[in-house]
Amino acid sequence: MSNIVYGGLSLILPGLGQVLAGQIRRGILFFLSLITMVSILYSQAADLGRRAGEGWAAMARAFSRRPGFIGFMILVLIALWLLGAYDAYRCAKEKRKVNTGIFALVLLGFFIQGWQISEIDLVKMVRQAPEALPPLSRVMWPWDAAFERDTDVLSGKAIIMTGEGTPPEQTEPVEGKPYLKSEPNFGELSKRDDDYNMVPGTRITVTGSGFAPRMETEIWWKDPIGNEFRPREGGEYLVLTTDDEGKFQFEMTLPYQLTPPSAEGAFLHTLEARQVTPVGPYKPSEALRLTVGRMVETIFMGMMATMFGIIFSIPISFLAARNIMSGSKVSMFFYYLTRTILNIVRSIEPLIWALIAVVWVGLGPFAGIVALTLHSIAALGKLYSEAIEGIDHGPIEAIQATGASRLQTIMYGVIPQMVSPFISFSIYRWDINVRMSTVIGLVGGGGIGFLLIQYIRLLDYRSAGIAVWFIAVTVAILDYVSAEIRNKLM
């Protein structure tokens, strides 16, 4: 058959020419790669152009939205199709693997598709970097939230009515006590119109007296059901400083608050001015106390999971060692069965086991211990069994020559050789379990991970930073301790 015919066959069916030329694996791999790339491109085009229908209409819509990506991928596919035909021609002519550039082009195509699927946007990353700096700085330096002092709060309140009704009477100032007055003390809250545009509420003038002089004062708003928040003016929280006589005056718009359509009548809101003064010595904050407690819990989770993993994996490892179980067909059956179970359990990440354990035993550290123990048994069982398979058979043969039983052979010929690797693997697994226990808490498996995810969801980056620092320091210390133990015992 002519070399040109091999190339023509690959033009008809990619990879066919390589297969007929004797490069079967090369042809199949090229065919599957090309089909995979086409399938992914079609899926992406269908997703981008799903509103335009299917087929060529969707492709045209996708091209209008992502002309660079779709166009370049089509060129790559055409180049691969033609290069595949040339590769088949060369394979038939030279009878050896040539033209490795074809698979470089395949990798380039997959890289481009991966870039699109994973939605990598370097421009967005650079543009939004300044927005990430404030929370990142709180995480990197969270110690302002690690310690706190008792506070003395000096506050004055004014009642403001919204809705229909008779406005409340204004209170009179009392000598030596903070006083707050709103004029008027009634009005309408800010709201949104049918086009979701903001409609400003009533403008009021607030006057305060009897406060500490030259001190920062925060303004708070409390609705009729007790919800508190800090109102904003011009996008900034209302914060002002009193004069030398402890007085101040400012204007504000009644804030926006979602009100149920069925709400009728008059509603009384509270406007409050607060001066917060730290008093007493510094003490650990609640975030620091919770972090320390959860970190201790995390360490013991890793320790308990490692201990249980060692206890159960040692006997299992002998069942998974070929040189121990090769005596009969029955023992080899248990060898393959044990190996298969260990591979299945080990292939499932501890995070998935934690999700199952949470359903099994409920939220908390016990679920984390169960998840880590299951994975530790599978991992240590494999490591122990491979160490057993690599032992020196000289002592075993010498012991067997004395007429020792299988159990005696294991006790005096196998176990003494296993002490050193067993200790090394066990310490390493403890280190892994402590690291993993910080992660499985994210799904309710207890430990500091559970606390960390709560802080992140609440956007409390300083408290989250305390947890991150404790995780990093603890893992570093445990890594040092495990290395020292390994040096002492090995």
Listed in order, strand segments (DSSP E) in 389-436 are none
324 with 375, same domain: the answer is yes
Greatest alpha-carbon span in the chain: 111
**Residue 53: inside a domain:** yes
**Residue 290: inside a domain:** yes
Residue 47, both tokens? 């997703």
Mean pLDDT for the stretch of residues 419-441: 83
- Is 60 exceeded by the pLDDT of residue 97? no
With bands split at pLDDT 50, 70 and 90, how would you rate the model's confidence at 259? low
463 with 426, same domain: the answer is yes
- Is 80 exceeded by the pLDDT of residue 71? yes
Q: Which residues pair with 111 in a beta bridge?
A: none
Q: Give the model confidence (pLDDT) of 442-460 as tens digits.
A: 777 778 888 888 888 888 8
Neighbours of 243 (CB within 10 A): 13
Mean pLDDT for the stretch of residues 298-306: 90
311 with 446, same domain: the answer is yes
Domains: count for the chain: 3
Check if the beta carbon of residue 405 is closer than 8 Å to that of residue 414.
no
Q: How far is the C-alpha of 254 from the C-alpha of 234, rounded, in Å?
A: 13
pLDDT of residue 419: 78
pLDDT of residue 438: 78
443 with 340, same domain: the answer is yes
Q: How far is the C-alpha of 98 from the C-alpha of 81, rounded, in Å?
A: 16
Hunting for tokens 């981008």 — which residue is that? 48
Residue-by-residue DSSP string for 423-455? HHHHHHHHHHHHHHHHHHGGGT--SHHHHHHHH
Of the residues 260, 284, 308, the one at which a domain ends: 284
Describe the crossing of helices 461-489 and 448-457 by its angle, rounded to 10 degrees.
160
pLDDT of residue 50: 66
Residue 98, both tokens? 């040539």
**Residue 142: inside a domain:** no
258 with 299, same domain: the answer is no
Mean pLDDT for the stretch of residues 250-272: 82
pLDDT of residue 178: 93
Which range of residues forms the domain containing residue 49?
3-120
Residue 4, both tokens? 């040109």
pLDDT of residue 219: 94
- Is 80 exceeded by the pLDDT of residue 414? no
pTM (whole model) above 0.75: no
CA dihedral 213, 217, 222, 226 (to 10 degrees): -90
Q: How far is the C-alpha of 222 from the C-alpha of 83, rounded, in Å?
A: 72
**Residue 143: inside a domain:** no
241 with 319, same domain: the answer is no
2-16, 23-37, 324-338: segment of lowest average pLDDT: 2-16
**Residue 125: inside a domain:** no
pLDDT of residue 263: 61
**Residue 296: inside a domain:** yes
Q: Are strands 236-237 and 232-233 parallel, antiparallel or unpaired?
A: antiparallel
- Is 90 exceeded by the pLDDT of residue 159? yes
Q: 436: buried, middle or exposed (CB in 10 Å: 19+, 13-18, 0-12)?
A: buried
pLDDT of residue 213: 93
306 with 174, same domain: the answer is no
DSSP 195: T
21-25, 89-93, 243-247, 282-286: segment of lowest average pLDDT: 89-93
- Is 70 exceeded by the pLDDT of residue 490? no
Neighbours of 76 (CB within 10 A): 19
106-115, 116-125, 270-279, 403-412: segment of lowest average pLDDT: 403-412
Tell me the average pLDDT of the chain.
84
DSSP 99: -
Residue 117, both tokens? 């699927």
39-48, 234-243, 256-265, 272-281: segment of lowest average pLDDT: 256-265
Q: How far is the C-alpha of 456 from the C-alpha of 463, rounded, in Å?
A: 9
Highest mean pLDDT among 12-16, 46-50, 151-155: 151-155
> What are the CA-CA distances from residue 208 to residues 169, 223, 240, 249, 331 (Å)?
17, 20, 11, 6, 88
Q: Give the model confidence (pLDDT) of 190-228 as tens digits.
A: 988 877 888 899 999 999 999 999 999 999 999 888 889
Q: 400: buried, middle or exposed (CB in 10 Å: 19+, 13-18, 0-12)?
A: middle
Q: Which residues pair with 203 in a beta bridge?
A: 253
Q: How far is the C-alpha of 308 from the C-alpha of 163, rounded, in Å?
A: 65
275 with 313, same domain: the answer is no
184 with 57, same domain: the answer is no
> What are the CA-CA distances from residue 82 to residues 11, 13, 86, 109, 313 (Å)?
7, 11, 6, 15, 55
337 with 479, same domain: the answer is yes
Q: What is the CA radius of gyration of the chain?
A: 35
pLDDT of residue 318: 86
Of the residues 284, 313, 328, the one at which a domain ends: 284
Of the residues 284, 302, 317, the one at which a domain ends: 284
DSSP 183: E
Mean pLDDT for the stretch of residues 35-56: 75
68 with 173, same domain: the answer is no
Q: How far is the C-alpha of 84 from the C-alpha of 7, rounded, in Å?
A: 8
- Is 70 exceeded by the pLDDT of residue 427? yes
